[in-house]
Structure 1
Amino acid sequence: MTLSRRKLLSMGAAGLAGSLWPHNPLMAKTEIGAFTLTSLSDGSLTLPASMVLAPLPEDDRAGAIVEFGIGEVMTPPCNITLLQTDERNILFDVGAGSEFMSSAGFLLDALDEVGLTPDDITDIAFTHAHPDHIWGLVDDFDDLLFPNARYLIGQQEWDYWTNPETVDTIDEGRTTFAVGAARRLARIEDNITFFNDGEEILPGVAARATFGHTPGHMAFEVRHGTNAMMILGDCIGNDHIALAHPTWKTGSDQDMEMGAMTRASLLDQITHDQIPVLGFHMQGNGIGRIERAGDRYRFIQDI
């Protein structure tokens, strides 16, 4: 295993607290027919709980804090999907990189854990262009990290983040998101493939429009034979409030009303079809099943 300068620094800081890693280095692997799917840890985020809770009515907010033990800070994991077929090493999103926050940006270390380098990645499909999903596209010198990859993104997502008006129309708290996305997407504008809802973007991978978290957010259904898994991205952004109260409007979604409608519809489909999921911010490695629990849902981690 190659120790990057950033990993060494992180290990040193974490060692003061009695731990060698700022994230869980164990990678969870499962099979989808003849495909191999691995959840890679990019670390975790450190976010104010108000980012999710602020739009809720006071009673709902207070109830959720008690029910789910939510403190002032939330630390959701960041689970990046690696899909391996006979000919391809496919990433879904590229993590936060080194500029977003120190608790995230460990994708290269995770790839090293499974014996891959950035040169081995053949395709990268983006769920959306928020910092923890796309800022890992470049290194500290602004060079592309995955020189041999072909990039794929939903047409609507690309149009939104590359529109020069977005930085002026997005809410003030997300201005840096817009600037960062536009800068990174500009680096791959000559090597990008666009897709729309329902299209098979790669063999066995179909795009599923899940708008709301961002204007063009996409989930992906990976299928081989009778086996399938839904790669969620952030359309179902956590395993507590999003599942217990899917129709609640939460602040993590740019379009809160559409995000709630998308969440409710997708949960109904997932549970009806009994499709396992890999959630970017779901607990642990994000691999599991979502089941109905009365008028709610619950996440059951499989690995």
Structure 2
Amino acid sequence: MAINLTRRAALGAAAALPFASAATPLLAAGAQTKANTTIARSFQLGDFTVTTLLDGSLPRDTAKEIFGGGASDEEFAKVSAENFISPDVAQFFFTPTLVHTGSELVLFDTGLGQGGIQAALADAGVSPDQIDVVVITHMHPDHIGGMTTNDAATFPNARYVTAAQEYDFWAAQEAGNRVGDLVAAKVSPLAEKMTFVEDGGDVASGITAMSAFGHTPGHTVFHLESNGQRLILTGDLANHYIWSFAHPEWEVRFDMDKAAATESRRKVLGMLAADKVPMVGYHMPFPGAGFVETRGDGFRFVPVSYQMMG
């Protein structure tokens, strides 16, 4: 596993990122698309407009079995009570992110494939055929489900970017593997339009890949920088805003390599806390953006509030 943080750590802390206050349709190339609704929220990052898109949300029982591997029942209940949440039920959020660089519309992950991504994009004033680049952080179903609609590409004019390790692993699975079968149906038909990015590689100017393996073999997070302001799109680095931050070592059922996932969490969350860089997490409570601070041997996710609104 390789995580290169040195160059990024030297860039300095991000300034406050004001949310845009009004929804504006994307009428022409180069126009800034902004939204402030219950399913699409925009804010500025230098010259970039970043919009988080709520694809869906649902509760899930057996929270400790999912997020508390290695924790005692008492310890898991204590952390939950201290943070005013149930130890039994977790609320899942699914939040792709759209980045308008000024010249391209770059979409990170595509959601569950149940129409939520199209609805959220519409609230941001964007149609699927306007997307220039689709970046896949990893290939779990809730990230690639929206790549096709009725067996056709949902984003017909886009090029696609992911980590080679991720695609190669899932494409090599035998028939009958749930994720492998979905990759064969949703991703492989678009392979001729796909390029592969390595750790430190650029997706577009100001958007850099950072390997953060463990959740899956090629799980990748992305560093955004524009005019000295920074943001990390953390994908599924941390799947829950309380448990995975307070105890990065607690095993998550969905992490394929538990030890590597813990190492990735500690390295990336530690960088975010040290440099005061904001993040957007795919499964964080919508709008998914916030900050990270150290707390004891772990961390605390601090959701955005008025400091990012304008």
Q: TM-score under structure 2 normalisation?
A: 0.80
2:269 is matched with which residue? Answer: 267
Q: Decide which of 130, 145, 151 is 1:142's aligned counterpart.
A: 151
Q: Decide which of 248, 253, 256 is 1:254's aligned counterpart.
A: 256
1:112 is matched with which residue? Answer: 122
Q: Provide closer, same or farther for how the CA distance between residues 46 and 163 of structure 1 changes in structure 2, counting only shifts above 3 A.
A: farther
Distance in 2 separating the partners of 1:127 and 1:290: 20
Distance in 2 separating the partners of 1:96 and 1:162: 19
Q: Decide which of 213, 216, 219 is 1:217's aligned counterpart.
A: 219
Distance in 1 separating the partners of 2:50 and 2:57: 20
1:92 is matched with which residue? Answer: 108
2:67 is matched with which residue? Answer: 52
Could you tell me whether the CA contact under 8 Å between 2:67 and 2:244 is conserved in 1? no
Q: Secondary structure at the match of 2:95?
A: strand
Could you tell me whether the CA contact under 8 Å between 1:160 and 1:215 is conserved in 2? yes
Shift of 1:56: 3.7
Q: Secondary structure at the match of 1:188?
A: helix
Shift of 1:292: 1.6
Distance in 1 separating the partners of 2:70 and 2:182: 25
Could you tell me whether the CA contact under 8 Å between 2:67 and 2:243 is conserved in 1? no
Distance in 1 separating the partners of 2:299 and 2:245: 5
Among the aligned pairs, what percent are the same residue? Answer: 32
Distance in 2 separating the partners of 1:252 and 1:59: 22
Read off the aligned partner of 2:103 and give its amino acid letter. E
1:283 is matched with which residue? Answer: 285
Could you tell me whether the CA contact under 8 Å between 2:54 and 2:286 is conserved in 1? no
Could you tell me whether the CA contact under 8 Å between 1:56 and 1:250 is conserved in 2? no
Could you tell me whether the CA contact under 8 Å between 2:69 and 2:250 is conserved in 1? no
2:243 is matched with which residue? Answer: 241
Could you tell me whether the CA contact under 8 Å between 1:135 and 1:181 is conserved in 2? no
Could you tell me whether the CA contact under 8 Å between 2:201 and 2:208 is conserved in 1? yes
Distance in 1 separating the partners of 2:120 and 2:211: 28
Report Cα offsets for 1:111-155 as digits up to 9, x if no partner.
11011110110000110001111111111x211111000000001
Distance in 2 separating the partners of 1:147 and 1:208: 27
**RMSD after superposition:** 2.0
Q: Provide closer, same or farther for how the CA distance between residues 278 and 205 of structure 1 changes in structure 2, counting only shifts above 3 A.
A: same
Could you tell me whether the CA contact under 8 Å between 2:68 and 2:250 is conserved in 1? no
Q: Provide closer, same or farther for how the CA distance between residues 210 and 119 of structure 1 changes in structure 2, counting only shifts above 3 A.
A: same
2:94 is matched with which residue? Answer: 78
Distance in 2 separating the partners of 1:91 and 1:237: 20
Q: Provide closer, same or farther for how the CA distance between residues 55 and 45 of structure 1 changes in structure 2, counting only shifts above 3 A.
A: farther
Could you tell me whether the CA contact under 8 Å between 2:53 and 2:96 is conserved in 1? yes
Report Cα offsets for 1:81-107 as digits up to 9, x if no partner.
100022111100011112xxxxxx511
1:7 is matched with which residue? Answer: none
Distance in 2 separating the partners of 1:161 and 1:30: 34
Q: Decide which of 150, 153, 157 is 2:162's aligned counterpart.
A: 153
Q: Matches of residues 59-74 of structure 1 in structure 2 within 5 Å?
A: 59-68=74-83, 69-74=85-90
Please list every run of 5 or more consecutive structure 2 residues that lacks an aligned counterpart in the other structure: 1-22, 24-36, 306-310
Report Cα offsets for 1:45-95 as digits up to 9, x if no partner.
443322223554444444445445335432221121100022111100011
Q: Secondary structure at the match of 1:250?
A: coil
1:15 is matched with which residue? Answer: none
1:36 is matched with which residue? Answer: 49
1:132 matched to 2:142: yes
Shift of 1:243: 0.9
Distance in 2 separating the partners of 1:53 and 1:292: 20
Q: TM-score under structure 1 normalisation?
A: 0.82
Could you tell me whether the CA contact under 8 Å between 2:98 and 2:107 is conserved in 1? yes
Shift of 1:302: 1.9
Shift of 1:250: 2.1
Shift of 1:237: 1.4
Read off the aligned partner of 2:168 and give its amino acid letter. D
- Worse overlay, 33-42 or 65-74: 65-74
Read off the aligned partner of 1:299 and give its amino acid letter. F
Please list every run of 5 or more consecutive structure 1 residues that lacks an aligned counterpart in the other structure: 2-23, 99-104, 169-174
Aligned length: 267
Distance in 2 separating the partners of 1:293 and 1:63: 15
Distance in 1 separating the partners of 2:137 and 2:256: 15
Q: Decide which of 164, 169, 172 is 1:163's aligned counterpart.
A: 172
Q: Secondary structure at the match of 2:155?
A: coil
